Amino acid sequence: MDKERLYSEPDEATEDDEQGMFEHFRLNVDPGQTPMRVDKFMATHLEDTSRHRIQCAIKEGYVRVGEKIAKANLIVRPGDIIRFMMPYRRRGTEIIPQDIPLDIVYEDDDLLVVNKPAGMVVHPGHGNYDGTLVNALAFHLGIDPASAKEDDDERMGILVHRIDKDTSGLLVVAKNDETQMDLARQFFEHSIERLYVAVVWGNIKEDEGTIDGAIGRDPNDRLRFKVYPEDDERAKHAVTHYKVLERFGYVTVVQCRLETGRTHQIRVHMSHIGHPLFNDARYGGSDIRKGTIYAKYRQFIENCFKLCPRQALHAKTLGFVHPKTKAIIRFDSNIPEDMESMIAKWRKYVSSTSEDDRHP
């Protein structure tokens, strides 16, 4: 039997990319193999994966034998090739449960939805080994610190998707394999409803529009991403739909609906069309982009940056089909105080300026 990992483990640069939620594998069945059920064969040859988890993957249609989607009782024979994918689980990370307050919007036996504050890292690693959402979830779910490794205990809570450290908003967390597999499929099929609110530089001309631009890593800065031609192998197809909610001339409040879920997608796409997110240092939004740079205006912008000291982006709405009940459920969260205060400051500012000044 030959086992091949076809997709490398994601790093911090694929944290919000549904393609990065899966590991892809191939199993080649040896010529001397006795015919066997596919679920039993996979469990025998995947030492770090339980048969239950394999059966969940089969149920969701993640396993193929040849070109056929496999059922659990399908018999594999010598020469067969099994291709499958598993929703990714970060392995070997020691998780320390920490009593960190969580804003839990919804919870049942299968999942929970949490409203993450800006500044909280989602998962330990890369210099952030505690104080993360996962540390808080471990405490909330009553994990024993002696056995708190994410791959050892399903009760840890399984992250189905992620948002950036300095982006606030809604995340869904699975409590078991069945729920993770189902939700991961919904993300992969782009059927999850995700609405964000952002404040961007400039006065967007259209009331609504679509940005269709493939996204890949910037070769000059591995922490940044950029838009490439659609057929460029370095990038993945990405689509963002936006609608103007409020105009302040110098900046615009927009709603963004994700059709795909690439890393930094909204930040990259809005910057690409010349409207970077307000105070997004990585994509040029922490510079004063519009208006005359005179002392009063500059001071006003600096005060806005202090009110909202991060990119002005909030994951406001999240909707999906509940894996167990099959009901469509939808959650909405308030714009956080830092963004709301900054927007209110802009409203007050433009009310004291002329119409011409509001369209620099």
Instruction: Name, in order, each residue with C-beta under 8 angstroms of 81's C-beta and a sequence gap of 6 or more.
Output: 26, 27, 28, 29, 65, 66
pTM score of the predicted model? 0.81
HSE, side-chain direction, 13 A CA sphere, residue 157: 26
Which residues in the chain are classed under CATH 3.10.290.10?
2-87
Q: Check if 164 is active-site.
A: yes
Long-range contacts of 299-302 (CB under 8 A, 24+ apart): 300/345, 300/349
Domain 193-351 has CATH 3.90.650.10: no
Look up the CATH number of domain 104-188.
3.30.2350.10
| Residue 326: count of CB within 10 angstroms of its CB | 8
Which residues in the chain are classed under CATH 3.30.2350.10?
104-188, 193-351
Out of 17, 39, 80, 164, the active site residue is 164
HSE, side-chain direction, 13 A CA sphere, residue 235: 23
For residue 102, what are the β-bridge partners? Answer: none
Q: What is the pLDDT along the chain (360 residues), one digit of tens a residue?
A: 444 443 333 333 334 455 456 667 888 898 888 899 998 898 888 877 788 888 888 888 888 898 888 888 899 999 999 988 777 665 556 788 999 999 999 999 999 999 999 999 988 776 677 889 989 998 998 876 555 554 444 445 577 888 999 999 999 999 988 898 899 888 888 899 999 999 999 999 999 999 999 999 999 998 999 999 988 988 989 999 999 999 999 999 999 999 988 899 999 999 999 999 999 999 999 998 766 667 888 999 999 999 999 999 999 999 999 999 999 999 999 999 999 999 999 999 988 765 555 444
| Number of alpha helices (DSSP H) and beta strands (DSSP E) in the chain | 7, 20
Look up the CATH number of domain 2-87.
3.10.290.10
Residue 183 DSSP code = H
